[in-house]
Amino acid sequence: MDLSKLVKTTDTRPDSAPRKLSIVFASSEVVPFSKTGGLADVAASLPKALAKRGHNVAIFTPLYKHLDPEAMRLARRLRPLEVPRRAKSQAKVECTIWEARIEGGVSVFFLENEEFFGRDGLYGYEDKNFEDNAERFAFFSRAVVEFARQLNLPVEVIHCNDWHTALAPVYKDYYYEGELDQVATVLTLHNLAYQGSFDKAAFKATGLPKRFESTDELLDEEGKVNFLKSAILHADVITAVSPTYAKEIQTEDKGFGLHDALKGRAGDLVGILNGADYSIWGPTVDRYIPVRYNIEELNGKRRNKAELQHEFGLPIRPTLPTLAMISRLTEQKGLDILIPALEELLAGFEDEQQGFQFVVLGDGNNEYTKSLERLAKRYPRRVAVNLGYSEEKAHKIQAGADMLLIPSRFEPCGLTQIYAMRYGTLPIVHATGGLADTVIDAGKDGETGSGFVFHEYTKEALIEAISRASQMYRNYRRWRPLMVSAMREDFSWATSAIQYEEAYYRALAKKEKPAKKTKKAKA
């Protein structure tokens, strides 16, 4: 496969810009093909931004069952990819590689493997993780390196994302010595709450040499096989998805047991803020929303709000603030303070014309979905709960709501607050991770700012922020400038793509040094 022929890029770099790189970008989900969260958004939009800077980027991802190559008119690569089933055995599995083009001239390559990916669900089905996830993603990680190896064009960087592709740097170091020594690996940490941590029995699935079974190179403090930990030790450069998160994960409180490993790599760890793809997320271009609008013509937002209230079965009330949430409903997302805060606030309003309306789109833990449904039952004219996943509704909410709630306990970066600002929907956020890096608090008088920030992770602090925002909303002369300054915030990928480029060069610079003397084993 000659990547240079497959991947057409538009080189817009100034003459002084660094040389063009060839990058394999590996991710378990990629918009618009597969998505459970923000990783999918980043896995499409960052490669696009890198391609715009002149780099050759090939995205590599699994072909899940819901993706039909024929219906999607994917191109079948002539040569199948041969992936060693287990590193030790030489038995190889032949996998078909399919290819799609996304905007910006980036190619997405899909790995087809019936055994591991020909089933419903990405990581599990109906609340239950697949039992063979260790084997599935060990195989996928090995395929990432094979893909990089079997391309005609010399790949310079393998960029892995989260635990699903985390074994790729480990495999590269141990099984491709002498062959891929010049290839640098970069690992991006999107969420340390998910580490690919498995019982020791999963060791076999990795296919790694026996000595890994007893070293802390693969095992974490609890003695579990931990894909992410291993990648933290092996990747040349590590990035976290916001500067604040890069610091937080080196503390015991937010390091999920990996803080020491991360501290040990502090010199190679850099926080780079995620960007937004404003060709998809923005009120002037959005293909899902009833009415498009812009900073000069904010009336369109009112119409989107009315449509939203109507669609979600709430009374149409232009002057009552509509608060919303679009989220995975997990422990991370702050529902343990949000639900009691809403209960308390809603109980305090005399009738449905007071206070606010609340709209939620989400999917996740039973405990939270039940509480939210109870709330909607008790306040049917104020609370609307939409369980499940809907891209269309997510866009309609961004455009129609007045405020977006993101009271996360921790948030590596967060994309919904970034999108919300572009729609003039003011985010109410807990000051953590990327939320702290992206939202400027409006203070008490609301003269400046792009949202509302609370610092203590408590119900009371959240209530105070919601009340402050609702109060300010009543005065449109104050609210409008806030909407405008939020809409003017720019989180496009341009700056962050340059920072990733720098991370790649840093990783490559390490390859110029003589190869590390490590005990290596060959498959």
Residues of this chain, 144-183, that bind ligand ADP according to CB under 6 A? none
Q: Does 39 bind ligand GLC (CB under 6 A)?
A: yes
User: Which positions from 244 to 283 touch ligand GLC by CB under 6 A, shown as an x/- string?
Assistant: ------------------------------x---------
- Contact flags string 180-209 toward ligand GLC, x per CB under 6 A: ----------xx------------------
DSSP 423-472: TT-EEEEESSHHHHHH--B-TTT-SS-SBEEE-S-SHHHHHHHHHHHHHH
Q: Give me the 21-40 binding string for ligand ADP, x by CB under 6 A, dash otherwise.
A: ----------------xxx-
Q: Is residue 427 at the binding interface for ligand GLC, with CB under 6 A as the rule?
A: no
394 binds, among ligand ADP, ligand GLC, none (CB under 5 to 8 A by kind): ligand ADP
Least gap, CB of 14 to ligand GLC (angstroms): 28
CB nearer to ligand GLC: pick between 317 and 328: 328
Quick count: other Cβ atoms within 10 Å of Cβ 389?
Answer: 13
Q: Does position 326 bind ligand ADP by CB under 6 A?
A: yes
Strands of 234-381, DSSP E? 237-240, 269-271, 322-329, 357-364
Q: How far apart are CA 259 and CA 442, in angstroms?
A: 33
What whole-number distance in Å separates Cα of residue 13 and Cα of residue 52? 8
Choose from ligand ADP, ligand GLC, none: what does 271 bind? Cβ within 5-8 Å by kind: none
Q: Which does 362 bind (CB under 5 to 8 A by kind): ligand GLC, ligand ADP, none?
A: ligand ADP
The helix, strand and coil proportions of the chain, stated in percent and rounded to the nearest 5, come to: 40, 20, 40
**Cβ of residue 451: shortest distance to ligand ADP, in angstroms?**
14
Give how far Cα 264 sits from Cα of 259, 268, 269, Å. Answer: 8, 9, 10
The candidate with the shortest Cα–Cα distance to 147, out of 52, 219, 230, 77, is: 77
Choices 150-158, 289-297, 388-396, 445-453 (CB under 6 A): range interacting with ligand ADP: 388-396
Q: How far is CA 157 from CA 24, 58, 144, 154, 305, in A?
A: 6, 11, 11, 9, 45
The window from 195-203, 325-333, 371-379, 489-497 that contacts ligand ADP (CB under 6 A) reads 325-333
Q: 10-41 burial, b for 16+ CB within 10 Å, e for fewer? A: eeeeeeeeeeebbbbbbbbbbbebbbeebbbb
Name the residue number minimizing CB distance to ligand GLC.
38
The option from ligand GLC, ligand ADP, none interacting with 185 (CB < 5 to 8 A, set by class) reads none
**Residue 138 Cα distances to 86, 88, 116, 158, 469, angstroms:** 9, 13, 11, 16, 47
Tell me the two tokens of residue 421: 């600002």
Given ligand GLC, ligand ADP, none, residue 241, with its beta carbon under 5 to 8 Å by kind, binds ligand GLC
Tell whether residue 363 is a contact of ligand ADP (CB under 6 A): yes
Contact between 437 and ligand ADP (CB under 6 A)?
A: no
Cβ count near 77 (within 10 Å): 17
Candidates 22-30, 35-43, 52-60, 420-428; binding stretch for ligand GLC (CB under 6 A): 35-43
Binding partner of 121, given ligand ADP, ligand GLC, none, CB within 5-8 angstroms per partner class: none
Q: By the 8 A CB rule, do 406 and 453 touch?
A: no
Task: Tell me which residues in 324-363 interact with ligand GLC (CB under 6 A).
Answer: none
Q: Which is nearer to ligand ADP, 43 or 291 (CB)?
A: 43
Q: Report the nearest approach of ligand ADP to the CB of residue 411 (Å).
A: 7
Work out whether the CA dihedral 419, 422, 428, 429 comes out positive or negative.
Answer: positive
Q: How far apart are CA 198 and CA 134, in angstroms?
A: 7
392-411 residues near ligand ADP, rule: CB under 6 A: 394
168/394 with CB nearer ligand ADP? 394
Encode 58-100 in three state secondary structure: EEEEECCCCCCCCCCCCEECCCCEEEECCCCCCCEEEECEEEE
Instruction: Indicate whether 327 belongs to the interface with ligand ADP (CB under 6 A).
Output: yes
Q: Is 360 in the site for ligand ADP (CB under 6 A)?
A: no
Restricting to residues 430-459, name those near ligand GLC by CB under 6 A.
434
Taking residue 236's Cβ as centre, other Cβ atoms within 10 Å add up to 23
Q: Does 241 bind ligand GLC (CB under 6 A)?
A: yes
Q: Is 169 in the site for ligand GLC (CB under 6 A)?
A: no
- Determine the Cα–Cα distance for residues 219 and 229; give it in Å rounded to an integer: 8
Please select the residue that binds ligand ADP; options are 416, 450, 470, 485, rule is CB under 6 A: 416
Residues in the chain, overall count? 523
Q: How far is the CB of 1 from ligand ADP (least distance, A)?
A: 31
Single residue of 20, 35, 37, 492 touching ligand GLC by CB under 6 A: 37
How does DSSP classify residue 276? Answer: B
Torsion of CA 27, 31, 36, 37, to 10 degrees: 90
Q: How far is the CB of 411 from ligand GLC (least distance, A)?
A: 5
User: Residue 325: how many CA atoms within 13 Å on its side-chain side?
Assistant: 30
Q: Which residues bind ligand ADP (CB under 6 A)?
A: 37-39, 41, 326-328, 361-363, 389-391, 394, 413-416
Q: Which residues bind ligand GLC (CB under 6 A)?
A: 37-39, 42, 190-191, 241, 274, 411-415, 434
